[in-house]
Amino acid sequence: MKKFAYLILIFIVIFTFIILVFKKDYGYDLTPSLNEEPLKTPYEKVAGYKNVTINNIDYLQTLLPIGKFKGSFTTSILGEPKTFNPYNANDATSAELSEIMYDGLTQTNPTNGSVIPKLAKSFEVLPDKKTYIIHLRKGIKWSDGVKITADDVYFTYNTIIFGGFGDGSAKDVMTIDGQMPKIEKIDDYTVKFTTPKPFAPFLRNLSTPIVPKHIFEKATNKGREYFLTYQGIDTKPSSLVVSGPFKLVEYLPSQRVVYQRNPNYYLINTKNEKLPYLDKLVMLIVGDMNNQTLKFESGAIDMLTINASLLDRYRELRKHNNFELYNLGPSTNTTFIVFNLNNRKNKDGKYYVNPIKQKWFQDKNFRSAIDWAIDRDDLILNIFSGLAQPLYTAEPVNSLFINQKIAKGHAKNLDYAKKLLKKSGFYYKNNQLYDKYNNKVEFELLTNAGNTQREATGVSIKQDLERLGIKVNFKAIEFNSLINKTLNSLDYDCIIIALTSNILEPNAGYNVWTSKGALHLFNKRTQNDLKNSDKPYPFELKLDEIFKKGALELNFEKRKEIYNEYQEIIANENPMVYLYAPLNINAIRNKVKNIYPTEFGGLIYNIASIYIDD
């Protein structure tokens, strides 16, 4: 008998050994780990820039290694652009395309996050901390050969931004205690900004794109309504005049966006050769993440953001393929559910939201119950294989201003969620939740089709809320349709979406959190609403105060205290329930050179210095 027991023990030991050695073959180790190296992380130091004047032209010189001219870099986008006008770009795809075509006066130093010149050659902040002198680069040109001057800067700010053209986001973040800065043209290459009060985010806000007056003035002269359609996706690419490293040459819907080198770009290398190195930059419109992955593995695109569940697979693929993996840390995208708290009527006299659902969404206990019912740990394990962090605050997890107390969050607790609902008169019948007016609780949850992570999130949340007795009708719809519902028609119940946050400056979210902001998603106001008397919720008024106060405070520690409070309000009121922050892991071909990723810049922030070496 003892001999038999020993044989059993030996068998167990041998079987366990086999599993440990061959577990991948048996499908046991499906959760990737960051402990396996190499997985490159961002560089700590990146060569910087300096100003160089050649033949009376003020160039910006990159100190990165010399590259090779010619070649094409191909990447991908999930959605279709809605516009090529940077001041109408309120969706991620359009904004990404605009950043390639238009530069601002300043930029963020990719190494340390400080503000440094771009279209500006230099800037001065006078002792009153309200006066900014901006010296422009002399002799640099738009892509059509016309010189970039103070007239373009004055027009962009005074007419477009301060004049309220476009979607209004640029104006929102420039609002200082209810007032706009003043801009004066000193000479052809100098402008002066004067703010009503010292304003901490001002220099960073000057990264807003400058547009050519001789092109855009024709549109502003026709009024704001016309401007909203100006340079739409049906615009002839050759008519776009840009300042960035690449100019648009082709847009084929559902296929691709193609840029070619802007020969008038003002960046040069240390041999004084004009950049960019690349002849072409191509963005394939792939529709969904699965297609994106297939495109990378087939060699059709050169860069891919890796789905965390595929990390182990890509470690293996890398051994036999020509790409490298980079871990850029937690994503600055904050993913959340937004409730439609709008209680107003549209121009046809109908409520944006069904009045029965209005009462649910406007009930803080209802929103908080949903927050407590969501299993973030389950989302992170099943969708990201553990390579993400739960998110409970409006600031990204790597923000300098994150409220650590709020960031700790809470575990899922269905019992507590049910207690919150009971406080507001909700009750159960046959495991289905009803409100105190005997209405069955059922609503629609939307997200954008093609984003497999958000689609999986929607399915998981639907299941979580079913355990709370709520019937959720989850749908994934076309991205531009989703954006239209979110920002224009306002006819939605709840949406899963994400916004890109600025880890260095909370005031970048001014247009999201202030009651009149263009991206105030949970209670968006139309132009007609803004004209009429409209009373925001008390917590919205408090957020207005906080963002006004925070931007006027220059001391970092005091600012942090102020922005801690706004995060506490959002976590308490839950107009937007935050979900997770996945790790930003990217694959890029080895032939793509001058890749120096940083926490502040990302992977290809220096696109004009990138080159191809086959």
CA-based max dimension of the chain? 101
For residue 444, which of 339, 346, 371, 344 has the smallest C-alpha distance?
339
Evaluate if residue 182 carries a pLDDT over 90: yes
Q: Which residues contact 192 (CB under 8 A, 6 or more apart)?
A: 131, 132, 133, 134, 183, 184, 186
Give Cα 497 distance to the centre of its chain.
10
Evaluate if residue 597 carries a pLDDT over 80: yes
DSSP three-state, residue 32? coil
Q: How confident is the model at residue 17 (pLDDT cuts 50, 70, 90)?
A: very low
Q: What local confidence, expressed as pLDDT, does residue 10 receive?
A: 34
Q: What is the dihedral of CA 507, 512, 513, 518, to 10 degrees?
A: 110
Tell me what the mean pLDDT of segment 412-428 comes to: 98
Evaluate if residue 22 carries a pLDDT over 50: no
Q: How confident is the model at residue 186 (pLDDT cuts 50, 70, 90)?
A: very high
H helix or E strand, kind and range, residue 407: helix 404-407
Q: How confident is the model at residue 529 (pLDDT cuts 50, 70, 90)?
A: confident
The one-letter code for the residue type at 89 is A
User: Could you tell me the two tokens for 314?
Assistant: 């890509």
DSSP three-state, residue 59? strand
Evaluate if residue 19 carries a pLDDT over 80: no
Tell me what the mean pLDDT of segment 577-588 comes to: 94
Evaluate if residue 13 carries a pLDDT over 50: no
Beta strands in 298-426 (DSSP E): 303-305, 323-330, 333-339, 388-390
Q: What local confidence, expressed as pLDDT, does residue 329 receive?
A: 87
Which tens digit of pLDDT belongs to each residue from 147-179?
999 999 999 999 999 999 987 788 888 989 889
Tell me what the mean pLDDT of segment 469-475 comes to: 98
Lowest mean pLDDT among 20-34, 300-314, 598-612: 20-34
Which tens digit of pLDDT belongs to each residue from 359-408?
999 999 999 999 999 999 999 999 999 999 999 999 999 899 999 999 99
Which tens digit of pLDDT belongs to each residue from 54-112?
999 999 999 999 999 999 999 999 889 999 999 999 888 999 999 999 999 999 998 88
Q: For the residues of 158-194, what is the DSSP string, one character each?
A: IIIITTT-TTSHHHHHH-BTTB--EEEEEETTEEEEE
Evaluate if residue 326 carries a pLDDT over 90: yes
Domains and CATH numbers, the chain: 80-227 (3.90.76.10), 333-583 (3.10.105.10)
Residue 450 φ/ψ, nearest 5 degrees: 100, -25
DSSP three-state, residue 365? helix
For residue 548, which of 503, 501, 499, 515 has the smallest C-alpha distance?
515
Evaluate if residue 35 carries a pLDDT over 60: no
Taking CA atoms, 590 is separated from 18, 27, 64, 275, in Å, by 36, 30, 17, 21
Determine what percent of the chain is predicted with pLDDT higher than 70: 92
Q: How confident is the model at residue 15 (pLDDT cuts 50, 70, 90)?
A: very low
Tell me what the mean pLDDT of segment 346-352 comes to: 85
Assess contact for 308 and 385: CB atoms under 8 A: yes
Tell me what the mean pLDDT of segment 489-513 comes to: 93
Residue scoring higher pLDDT (2 or 271): 271
Assess contact for 373 and 467: CB atoms under 8 A: yes
Distance, in Å, from the CA atom of 356 to the CA atom of 35, rounded to the nearest integer, reads 50
Residue 333 φ/ψ, nearest 5 degrees: -75, 125
Average pLDDT, the chain: 90
Distance, in Å, from the CA atom of 600 to the CA atom of 42, rounded to the nearest integer, reads 10
Cis peptide, bond prior to residue 538, ω within 30 of zero? no
Taking CA atoms, 164 is separated from 106, 180, 224, in Å, by 21, 11, 8
The one-letter code for the residue type at 388 is A
Evaluate if residue 464 carries a pLDDT over 50: yes
Residues across the chain: 614
DSSP three-state, residue 356? helix
Tell me what the mean pLDDT of segment 118-130 comes to: 96
pTM summary value: 0.84
Q: How confident is the model at residue 120 (pLDDT cuts 50, 70, 90)?
A: very high
Q: What local confidence, expressed as pLDDT, does residue 530 receive?
A: 67
Q: What local confidence, expressed as pLDDT, does residue 361 receive?
A: 97
Quick count: other Cβ atoms within 10 Å of Cβ 481? 13
CA-CA-CA-CA torsion sign (89, 327, 204, 46): negative
Q: What local confidence, expressed as pLDDT, does residue 11 receive?
A: 35
Q: What local confidence, expressed as pLDDT, does residue 305 receive?
A: 93
Distance, in Å, from the CA atom of 352 to the CA atom of 355, rounded to the nearest integer, reads 9
Q: What local confidence, expressed as pLDDT, does residue 5 receive?
A: 36
Q: What local confidence, expressed as pLDDT, does residue 531 receive?
A: 66
